[in-house]
Amino acid sequence: MSKVLVVDDDLGIQKQLKWSLTDFDVVYADDRTSAIAQLRRHEPAVVTLDLGLPPDPANASEGLLALSEILSLAPHTKVIVVTGNNDKSNALRAIELGAYDFYQKPIDSDTIKVIINRALNLANLEHENRVLIRSNPSMGKIIGNSAAIQSVSRRAEKIAQTDISALLLGESGTGKEVFARSIHEHSHRSDKAFVAINCASIPENLLESELFGYEKGAFTGANKTTLGKIEMAQGGTLFLDEIGDMPIGLQAKMLRFLQERVIERVGGRTEIPVDIRVICATHRDLQSMVAEETFREDLFYRVGEITIDIPPLKDRDQDVVLLAKTFLGQYCQEFNVKIKGFSESALQAMLSHPWPGNIRELQNKLKSAVILAEGQLITAEDMSLRGPKEEQEKEILNLREVREYAESNAIRKAYVRADKNISKTAELLGVTRPTLYSLIDKYHLEDLKTGM
C-alpha cells in the first residue's frame, strides 16, 4: 500500500482525510519538525502539505520552508500543497519551488483522491524510469539520445571487451576522453589503471621521457629512475590524446612499442614487456597528414585498427538539452545554488546555437550561468546566447513525409523535455501512452524504448 504523508495542524482535516484515503497508508504530521521526522521515517511517495502551518497559520512562510526541506531531502517526492481560498499567490510560489500541484480548501474527498492517485502514478513511473536507466548497460557517462551518438555508443560497446587499438576522431570538445574512459570501464581491464597523456601539451623534448620513462643519470637532472606513462598503465589502458601532434621522430619508437609490446626507458638498455590496451584520439585529419608525410602511415594503421568518429554537438539534435540538464545538476551542487531548470528561451537558444566549441563550450557557458543567474530558471541571456532565428523549413512537398518528419521530431523533443519519462512525454504530446508506443514503433525510434 502506497504511503501518503498528510501535513496539517487541523485535526478536523486530518480525520476527514483519514476516512477518505482508505486506499493508502496515511501518516500524519502537524508542524514542520514532525513533517521532516515522518518523511525520514516513512519515505512517502506523496505529501499533502498545508501552507498555513504553525507557529503562524496566517503566514505561509513556514509551509514554504517545509516544502523546501522536503524537496531537498526527497527531491522525487510529489508534494501537493493545500491552501486557503485567498492564498493563490503562495500556491503559485510553491509550484515555482517544486511542488507537484496545489488544492484550495475546503477539501473535497473525491477530488483530493484523484490528485493523489495521479501524483502516485507519476511517482511510480518516474521510479521505474530511474531503475531502467540505472540498469541500462549503455556506455557509462556517455549522455545522449540522438541517433548519431547512439550509433557511436553501440560501436564503442562492441570493442570494449577486446584489446584492439582504437582511434577516436572528432572535433575538440566532443568528449573523446569520456569515450575512452567508458571503453576502459566496460573492458576486462576496468580494475586496472586508466592513464591519459595529451601529446600536444608536452614539449617535444620531454614527451619521450613522459611516455617511456627514464633511467637514473640518463640526462641532467635525472636523479632517479622514473616510470613513464606506458609502464604506469600496466594491465590497464593508455589513452594517447592528440596523437596527431606527436613528433615524427618519436612515432617510430611508438610504432615499435605497439608492435612488440616492449619498451626501453630513456637511457636504458633493457627491454621491458608491457601489457596494456591503447586508445588514441585526435581532432586532426591523419590521412591528410600521412599524405603530407607528417604522420607515419604504418603507425596510422596500427593505432586505427578500429576508428570511431564522434559527432560534433551541432549534429546531435536534442542531446544538447540532455547534457545541459545533467551539467546543471552538477554545477548547482558544486556551487551550492538552487536553480530549477531552463527558460523556454534558453532551450530554444541552445538548440539553435552551432556550438563550435562543442560540449566544452556548453560546460563553460552553463558554469558561468549557474554562478551569475538571478532567477530560478537559466535564461538565454544568462548563457550569453542569442535567441533562435527563424529557421527555414526543410522543403518536403510529400504530405506523408512532412507528417512523419514533424511527428518523429516532436516525439524526440518531448521525450528530452520530459527527462525520458514516457508518461510525461505522452502528456506533453497530448496523446495516450498506447498511442505514443504505436508512434515510436511506426517511426522506428528504437532508442526511445529504453525509457519504457
Domain of 332: which CATH number? 1.10.8.60
DSSP bridge partners of 272: 263
155 occurs within a structural domain = yes
Tally of residues, the chain: 452
Of 347, 378, 409, the residue that ends a domain is 378
Distance in angstroms (rounded) separating the CA atoms of residues 366 and 322: 13
Nine-digit cell at 256? Answer: 615499435
- The closest alpha carbon to 406, from 414, 390, 354, belongs to 414
pLDDT per residue over 295-318, tens digit each? 999 999 999 999 999 999 999 988
**Residues 249 and 304 both lie in one domain:** yes
> Residue ranges of the alpha helices (H) in 74-212?
88-97, 109-135, 147-160, 176-185, 204-212
**Residues 247 and 196 both lie in one domain:** yes
**Residues 239 and 331 both lie in one domain:** no
**Residues 112 and 206 both lie in one domain:** no
Task: Say which CATH number the domain at 75 has.
Answer: 3.40.50.2300
Distance in angstroms (rounded) separating the CA atoms of residues 414 and 441: 16
pLDDT higher than 60, residue 132? no
119 occurs within a structural domain = yes
**Residues 266 and 189 both lie in one domain:** yes
Q: Strand runs (DSSP E) across 59-109, as ranges? A: 78-83, 101-104
Distance in angstroms (rounded) separating the CA atoms of residues 43 and 27: 10
**Residues 173 and 227 both lie in one domain:** yes
What is the domain extent for residue 412?
399-451
Of 311, 341, 370, the residue that ends a domain is 311
User: What number is the average pLDDT over the span 188-207?
Assistant: 94
CA dihedral (311, 154, 280, 273) in degrees, to 10, reads 180
Distance in angstroms (rounded) separating the CA atoms of residues 303 and 155: 17
Mean pLDDT (the chain) is 86
Helix (H) or strand (E) segment spanning residue 370:
helix 358-372
* Proportion of the chain above pLDDT 70, given as a percent: 91
**Residues 328 and 301 both lie in one domain:** no
Confidence of residue 360 (pLDDT cuts 50, 70, 90): very high
13 occurs within a structural domain = yes
* Cα separation values, 124 from 53, 77, 452, Å: 28, 10, 13
**Residues 299 and 439 both lie in one domain:** no
pLDDT higher than 70, residue 389? no
pLDDT per residue over 110-125, tens digit each? 888 889 988 888 888 7
Long-range pairs, 122-127, Cβ under 8 A, ≥24: 122/78, 122/423, 122/424, 123/45, 123/46, 123/76, 123/77, 123/78, 124/45, 125/421, 125/422, 125/423, 125/424, 126/76, 126/421, 127/76
Whole-number pLDDT of residue 413: 83
Whole-number pLDDT of residue 137: 42
**Residues 335 and 437 both lie in one domain:** no
